[in-house]
Amino acid sequence: MPLLNDILIIVGLSAFVLYLCHLIRVPIIVGFLLTGLISGPYGLGLVRDIDAVKILADVGVVLLLFTIGLEFSFRSLLQIRRSVLIGGSLQVAITVAAAFGVSRYFGLGIGNAVLIGFLVSLSSTAIVMKILQDRAEVETPQGNTALGILIFQDIIIVPMMLLVPLLAGEGKGGDMDSLLLFLAKVVSIVALVIVSAKWIVPRVFYSIARTKSRELFLLSVIAICLAVAWLTHLAGLSLALGAFMAGLIISESEYSHQALGNILPFRDVFTSFFFVSIGMLLNMGFLLEHPLYLALLALGVFIFKALIVLVIAILLGLSLRTAVLVAVSLGQVGEFSFILSEKALQHGLLAGAMHQGFLAVSVLTMMATPFALAASPRIASLVQKLPLPRKIRRGSYPAPHTERLHAKDHLVIVGFGLNGRNLARAAKFSGIPYAILEMNPTVVRDERAKGTPIYYGDATQEAILQHLNIKTAKALVVVINDPAATRRITELARRLNPKIYLVVRTRFIQEMAPLCELGADEVIPEEFETSVEIFSRVLAKYLMPKEEIERFVAEIRSERYEMLRSLSREASTCMDIELCLPDVEIKSFRIAEGSPLTGKTLAETEMRKKMGVSVLAVRRKNEIISNPPAETVFSAGDILFVVGEPDKIADAMRLYNHPETGKA
């Protein structure tokens, strides 16, 4: 089978190339692009059925955007509406206008110049969101802004496609009717998505979950994903946007986490085919003929787009650092530009050499994106050192005016997500003075209206922390999803207040050591704290003494979770009595009606003396009697928790719970 042969080549070659990239510390996405370059028609020509690979690539993009939608929600989408409507429209309009002017300057016709603007204005949703998702930055201010602009680009591609025949001079009077029909379809699909999310999907998944069939659940998730993507495709929208909307539908239900867990393995496999297929587009012969020219052109396009996005992000009111991060993330040319270029090629708007040049520049900007994003925090730090106005550095979003904080011994909370909200609620309940710093202006405005002591600002800037009187604060807790910003805040807070108690949450275990070196008193890795909470509850369920559980947890935390990272060291606390004492068991049994135990005290039964079994606890209805005293009187229906050797427990249960077998 030719397709199976091609898949085997791609998978095998990808594994080899990715291993080499790991050795030389090259991003994984670049490794996939190189795999496509080597195996594609312009490389060694190992893969024959390019069209089939593109189909697999489309599935990868669909699953990628579907998982992003699953982790998002309609509420989150409403919070980034400014980025979608204002940021996206400004980015596309300004980029098209600027590219049009540059193209006209170099002698291109009006139709060609507008087309170049269209092509350059689009960025890569798949690459940007994949990197941000891997770095857990989708929910950061820069992640939300980038996603908002990308969503607008995915929508605006349809009008661009409709305008291509007009640019080629082949327009017809029905184009306006097509646009109106397209808008009607979009409205219908949005309405269907809202209705499905609120009423249809939760009920469907409830019925499916009751079957307890993993196969049925997985197939249902995939069916919904592909069905919504197919509907949006019929309406003229992209498959990726439809998949994102499908994810949003399921995200509103309680089954989103299970759906995400089922989809992730498929997403990673199929997404790799997308990146490989992009690498196949690059003509190495054409690139080697004009290496310097194409490299400079790709660099120019990347910087050109990034500067436009930078200006727009500042106009949106983002801080300078966040604006730089957004700008760097959207500097590449996107995958939907390839679809647009193919249509333009059919209508004669792109000549062969121009088309190859566009493909080469686009793929080069995509290959540069992982490196640029990795360097973006350092770029942002350098830009922040420029002598720019304070309003630009801090952000100009019209958040409510707030006076400088004059509290002492207060708690400063950076980030108002789930952890930040819970911490603020606990501080308020305990009467601890606190202040919150948040980068989402909508959240700041809404919470200040409720009387919450929340401030808008970027905590990586010294002036912002000074505004919250960091020098007299007693504690600072950082609970944001931006690793680079977390490191910067940690270093800055420790320098401004050497005595402050600094607690930092991180999603990545490798961030623990650097954060401690920067001055954090406590670094809480999210994944390990979840593990600690889980096994604490399990140990409590298994009747392990509370003080031993607390001592065990304290031991793990004091050693920075080394026990969880490496199981080579034995725990000093015995977590499983059946493992530590194989000849001892803990069992429970209910006292039946007519049992010799009924009406007798623990002392009268002489259970330990006669049978060698000790009573640990008694459950009576909803009451637990731990370590029951000798005068405890047993009643029918009581549940006894006893410890002893298995055979002695069995004898005791027969003797004491069946009156016909004997008496106590």
- pLDDT (average), residues 571-599: 67
pLDDT value at 202 more than 70: yes
Q: In this structure, which amino acid lies at residue 136?
A: A
CB 414 within 8 A of CB 477: yes
pLDDT of residue 456: 83
Name the band, by pLDDT with cuts 50, 70 and 90, for residue 172.
Answer: low
Strand order in the sheet with 639-644: 585-590, 639-644, 614-620, 623-626
Strands 639-644 and 585-590: antiparallel
pLDDT of residue 72: 75
CB 467 within 8 A of CB 404: yes
Strands 475-478 and 411-414: parallel
Name the band, by pLDDT with cuts 50, 70 and 90, for residue 118.
Answer: very high
* pLDDT above 70: percentage of residues in the chain: 87
pLDDT value at 86 more than 90: yes
pLDDT value at 490 more than 90: yes
pLDDT value at 262 more than 90: no
pLDDT of residue 22: 87
Q: Domain residue spans in the chain?
A: 2-384, 411-520, 528-575, 580-661
The fold of 411-520 is: Rossmann fold (3.40.50)
Q: At what angle do helices 336-346 and 110-121 cross, to 10 degrees?
A: 160
- pLDDT (average), residues 253-261: 76
- pLDDT (average), residues 527-555: 67
Q: At what angle do helices 526-541 and 546-558 cross, to 10 degrees?
A: 160
- Bridge partners for 525 per DSSP: 506
- pLDDT (average), residues 431-448: 86
Mean pLDDT score of the chain, rounded to an integer? 83
Q: Which stretch of 104-118, 154-168, 561-575 has the lowest confidence by average pLDDT?
A: 561-575
Name the band, by pLDDT with cuts 50, 70 and 90, for residue 574.
Answer: very low
- Kindly report the pTM of this predicted structure: 0.70
Name the band, by pLDDT with cuts 50, 70 and 90, for residue 598.
Answer: confident
pLDDT value at 575 more than 50: no
pLDDT of residue 436: 93
Q: Is the dihedral of CA 234, 238, 242, 243 positive or negative?
A: positive
pLDDT of residue 79: 79
pLDDT of residue 664: 41
pLDDT of residue 292: 93
* pLDDT above 90: percentage of residues in the chain: 24
Q: Is 24 helix (H, G, I), strand (E, B) or coil?
A: coil
Half-sphere exposure of 645 (CA within 13 A, CB side): 6
pLDDT value at 11 more than 70: yes
371-411 pLDDT per residue, tens: 999 999 899 989 988 888 878 887 765 444 445 566 778 99
Q: In this structure, which amino acid lies at residue 375?
A: A
The CATH superfamily holding the domain 580-661 is Regulator of K+ conductance, C-terminal domain (3.30.70.1450)
Bigger pLDDT: 93 vs 662: 93
Q: Which stretch of 224-238, 326-340, 478-492, 494-508 has the lowest confidence by average pLDDT?
A: 224-238
CB 487 within 8 A of CB 505: no
pLDDT value at 542 more than 80: no
- pLDDT (average), residues 176-181: 66
Half-sphere exposure of 317 (CA within 13 A, CB side): 14
Q: Would you list the DSSP string of 170-235? A: ---TTHHHHHHHHHHHHHHHHHHHHHIIIIIHHHHHHHHHHHT-HHHHHHHHHHHHHHHHHHHHHT
- pLDDT (average), residues 639-654: 83
Name the band, by pLDDT with cuts 50, 70 and 90, for residue 506.
Answer: confident
What contacts 330, CB < 8 A, 6 or more positions away?
Answer: 91, 123, 128, 146, 149, 150, 305, 306, 309
| Structure-token pair, residue 189 | 């699909």
Query: In which region does residue 348 sit, left (phi positive, over 0), alpha (psi from -120 to 50) or beta (all else)?
Result: left
Bigger pLDDT: 440 vs 472: 472
pLDDT value at 569 more than 50: no
pLDDT of residue 496: 92
Q: Which stretch of 75-79, 434-438, 464-468, 617-621 has the lowest confidence by average pLDDT?
A: 75-79
Q: What is the CATH number of domain 2-384?
A: 1.20.1530.20
pLDDT of residue 303: 96
Residue 399 CA: distances (Å) to CA of 439, 446, 453, 463: 10, 10, 13, 17
Q: Is 293 helix (H, G, I), strand (E, B) or coil?
A: helix
